[in-house]
Amino acid sequence: MTCGVTTSLANLADVEDLAVNAAVLARRYLDTAELADRWLHVQAVARRAESLTPAVAAADRDLIITAAWLHDLGYAPELVATGMHSIDGARYLLRCGYPLRLAALVAHHSGARFEATERGLLRELDEFPFEAYAVADALATADLTTGPQGQPMSFQARMQEILDRYPPTSPVHKAMRNAQPELMAQVQRTMDRLTRASDSA
């Protein structure tokens, strides 16, 4: 399996180069007939992440956009290993030489620990350090205010859409139901940071 990057990672000068490369990599794996809706979602999450960059430190603004492009990479059929997309995508990124912090953001995005608990995959998730800071909050916010075909959605509507899409016995349904208070807090913190950034501009 090739890594599908446009240049050698050794030649990527900085995180901004990674962000450009991430869009190409995401397109390679997700722009398919089978994953058409997923690709629409990912593109819109990346745009949403751009709008949230004032909520993170200046040094992390390209990182949040990169993570947004790559957060659902593990849905690509050829990358599926554990069956949990966040872990499978993160493992692939590490194999291809992407930074551990980026892979960890992908691994843990949007309440992944709750899903890993339901699937019995906590040991696999713990291969990646957990980051409970502004970038993780902004990534969850971008993901959870963007619908499955890329449409803008409120957090409440997005959560209900996920719960309706998966049956109550599904590990995703159970995980998202249990994760809802924590995810809501992530979104609120991001919105608060955006407000403070706007007020100080």
Number of neighbours of residue 2 by Cβ within 10 angstroms: 6
Looking at residue 164, its pLDDT comes to 97
Q: Rounded to whole angstroms, how far apart are CA atoms 114 and 177?
A: 9
Q: Which pLDDT score is estimated for 16?
A: 52
* This prediction's pTM: 0.92
Q: Where are the domains of the chain?
A: 13-200
Predicted pLDDT at 13: 40
pLDDT score, position 3: 67
Low-confidence ranges of the chain (pLDDT < 50): 5-15
d(CA 27, CA 61): 21
CATH topology of domain 13-200: Hypothetical protein af1432 (1.10.3210)
pLDDT value at position 19? 75
Euclidean distance between CA atoms 165 and 154, whole angstroms: 16
Res 20: pLDDT: 76
pLDDT on residue 166 = 97
Q: Of 112, 120, 163, give the one whose Cα is nearest residue 140.
A: 112
